[in-house]
Amino acid sequence: MTRTARGRFRWRTKIRTSLPWFLVNRGLAGKGTADCGDHEWYNADGEVECCYHCAAGRRPYDPTHFAPAD
């Protein structure tokens, strides 16, 4: 993977972690709509996992994805 693809939407993620949620929800630093190409997952609601960086990254929730490594 190229260096450019790795950081494609990372700047938005950095901004979102610094802004109050009401500004993020108004679209000032929303997730990218295209596929970021290097998903980092979080459990959105117990049914779906979403990517921190792009809206295209979604998959069914699986608890084994978040199991701690031994």
Quote the distance between the C-alpha of residue 44 and its chain's center.
10
d(CA 24, CA 17): 9
In this structure, the dihedral spanned by the alpha carbons of residues 18, 50, 57 and 28, taken in order and rounded to 10 degrees, is -30
Note the pLDDT tens digit of each residue in 25-55. 666 666 778 888 888 898 989 999 999 888 8
Percent of the chain topping pLDDT 90: 23
Helices (H), 7-47: 10-18, 21-24
Give the pLDDT band of residue 4 (cuts 50, 70, 90): very low
Residue ranges covered by each domain of the chain: 3-63
- Measuring CA to CA, which residue among 38, 53, 48, 40 is closest to residue 63? 48
| Mean pLDDT over each residue of the chain, to the nearest integer | 79
